[in-house]
Amino acid sequence: MVIRSNPVLRTRIIQTNLGEALQVVVKGAVVWGHRKDLDDCTQDSHQGIHLGDSLLPKGNHLVLTIHHALYDGWSLPRTLEQVEAAYYEGEPQSRPFKIFVEHLLKQDDKNMEEFWRAQLHDFSGPLFPSAPPGDVNY
């Protein structure tokens, strides 16, 4: 139910023939991974997520494995709320991402820029974490 309502949970990152990463939303059914117990899931966590891997295991426990590129600090709690609601109440209400994108496209870029400039005017931290010595290739 939650997977059907949230395209990001059906998202795969694939590699094109040119070596570029491309985000693809799968329309069909999600391929579930099966594990005997939580120890199997722990072993899976050491392998990481690779291009083309199935998204979620199935069983008596829900183990959510999702790449950090597909969620943020706002969307992950909303998704977990939907999972909880589906568990206790049944089918959650769908909130298509398309509506959010349409809302963003209607926004005034100048107002958004002014807002973020005001929010970040005192920010003095680095834009990106610096790489450890020896790990940078030019």
Residues 3/9, Cβ–Cβ less than 8 Å: yes
Q: Which domains does the chain have, with CATH numbers?
A: 2-97 (3.30.559.10)
Asked whether residue 61 carries a pLDDT value surpassing 80, the answer given is no
pLDDT in tens, 1-45: 777 778 888 888 888 888 888 888 888 777 666 677 777 666 655
Asked whether residue 58 carries a pLDDT value surpassing 50, the answer given is no
pLDDT, averaged across the chain: 77
- Global pTM? 0.45
The beta-strand segments (E) located in 8-126 are: 11-15, 21-25, 33-34, 57-58
